[in-house]
C-alpha cells in the first residue's frame, strides 16, 4: 500500500456541486498538507494541519475547506465547485522532526475537472 | 517577483548527456534546498536535499547551492530515458516550503 493514498484518482463534477477529496497516510506523520498543481503555476498550498486540532489556511484557501478526522486522515472539500478549480490536487505529509523542513511525502494526486 | 523561479522547459536531451536544471530564489532566509522528481500522473518524490552551500552528490545526481547568488542547480550525469520527468526545486525556511514551477525533462534514447 502507498504511504499516502488519495481518493478518488479522477473526478469530473458539475459547477456548483460539493465534492470531497480524501487523503489517508500510513507514515505516522503529524503534519499534512493539501496542494493544487496547475501548469505554469506549480504547487500552491491550500491548507495545512500540524496535528489533529490544528488547521491553517495556505495561500489559496478561498473556496475550499478541510477536515482533519484523525492523525492519518485529512480531507479537502470544495463547497460549490467552479471551473477554475479544475486542477491536480495533492495531499502530502511531513515529519516534525529532522526532516520537517524538506521531507514531504506526496500522494499520487486527484485529477479534478469541474464542468 | 516570485520567491522561486524555475525555467519550465521543456528540455530535451539525448541519452547519456549531462543535464543541468536550475532555480533562483529571492529570500536569503531560505535554509533548506530540495529537488523533487515527478513522473507523469504521479506525485512529486524527494530526490535530494541540502542545507549548505556547495555540492552534494548521490549517484548520477549532484545538487549544487550557491547562497551568495541565491542559485541552486541539479546536475544529472549519464542521463537515462528513465530520468524523463518533471523536476521541481523546493526551498524551505521558517516552516514554509516554496516550490518552483518545475522543468520538464525528456531524455531521448
**What pLDDT is stored for residue A101 in this prediction?**
54
Residues (pLDDT < 70) of chain A are 1, 96-102
A-facing residues of B in 34-73 (CB < 8 A) are 34, 36, 41-46, 49
Residue ranges in chain B assigned as alpha helix (H): none
Give the per-residue pLDDT at A53: 93
**B36 touches B48 (CB < 8 A):** no
**B43·A106 Cβ contact <8 A:** yes
Question: Of A42, A104, A108, which is closest to B101 when you measure between CB atoms?
Answer: A42
Q: Is A41 in CB contact (< 8 Å) with chain B?
A: yes
Contacts of B2 in chain A (CB under 8 A): none
Contacts of A104 in chain B (CB under 8 A): 36, 44, 46, 90, 97
pLDDT of residue B53: 85
What integer is the mean pLDDT of B25-36?
A: 87
Question: pLDDT exceeding 70 applies to what percent of chain B?
Answer: 97
- The closest alpha carbon to A83, from A58, A113, A105, belongs to A113
Of A100, A105, A108, the CB nearest to B42: A108
At residue B16 the predicted structure's pLDDT band, cuts being 50, 70 and 90, is: very high
Q: Work out the pLDDT band at B23, boundaries 50, 70, 90.
A: very high
Nearest beta carbon to residue B32 from set A90, A101, A105: A101
Angle, CA of B94, B96 and B100, to the nearest 5°: 130
Nearest chain B Cα distance for residue A80, angstroms: 26
Express each pLDDT in B69-86 by its tens digit: 999 999 999 999 999 999
**pLDDT for the residue A96:** 66
What is the signed CA dihedral for B39, B45, B47, B49, rounded to 10 degrees?
140
Q: How far is A85 from A17, CA to CA, in rounded Å?
A: 12
pLDDT for the residue numbered B93: 75
Amino acid at each position: 500500500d502507498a504511504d499516502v493514498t488519495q481518493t478518488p484518482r479522477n473526478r469530473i463534477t458539475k459547477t456548483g456541486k460539493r465534492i470531497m477529496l480524501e487523503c489517508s497516510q500510513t507514515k505516522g506523520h503529524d503534519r499534512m498538507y493539501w496542494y493544487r498543481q496547475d501548469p505554469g503555476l506549480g504547487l500552491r498550498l491550500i491548507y495545512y494541519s500540524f496535528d489533529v486540532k490544528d488547521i491553517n489556511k495556505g495561500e489559496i484557501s478561498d473556496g475550499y475547506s478541510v477536515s482533519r478526522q484523525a492523525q492519518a486522515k485529512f480531507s479537502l472539500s470544495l463547497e460549490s465547485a467552479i471551473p477554475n478549480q479544475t486542477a491536480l490536487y495533492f495531499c502530502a505529509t511531513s515529519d516534525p522532526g529532522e526532516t520537517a523542513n524538506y521531507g514531504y511525502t506526496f500522494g499520487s494526486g486527484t485529477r479534478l475537472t469541474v464542468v | 517577483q516570485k520567491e522561486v523561479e524555475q525555467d519550465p522547459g521543456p528540455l530535451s536531451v539525448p541519452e547519456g548527456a549531462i543535464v543541468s536544471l536550475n532555480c533562483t530564489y529571492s529570500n536569503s532566509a531560505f535554509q533548506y534546498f530540495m529537488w523533487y522528481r515527478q513522473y507523469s500522473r504521479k506525485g512529486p518524490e524527494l530526490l535530494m536535499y541540502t542545507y549548505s552551500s556547495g555540492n552534494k552528490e548521490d549517484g548520477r545526481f549532484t545538487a549544487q547551492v550557491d547562497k551568495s547568488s541565491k542559485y541552486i542547480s541539479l546536475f544529472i550525469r549519464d542521463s537515462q530515458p528513465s530520468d524523463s520527468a518533471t523536476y521541481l526545486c523546493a526551498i524551505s525556511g521558517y516552516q514554509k516550503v516554496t516550490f518552483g514551477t518545475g522543468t520538464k525533462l525528456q531524455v531521448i534514447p
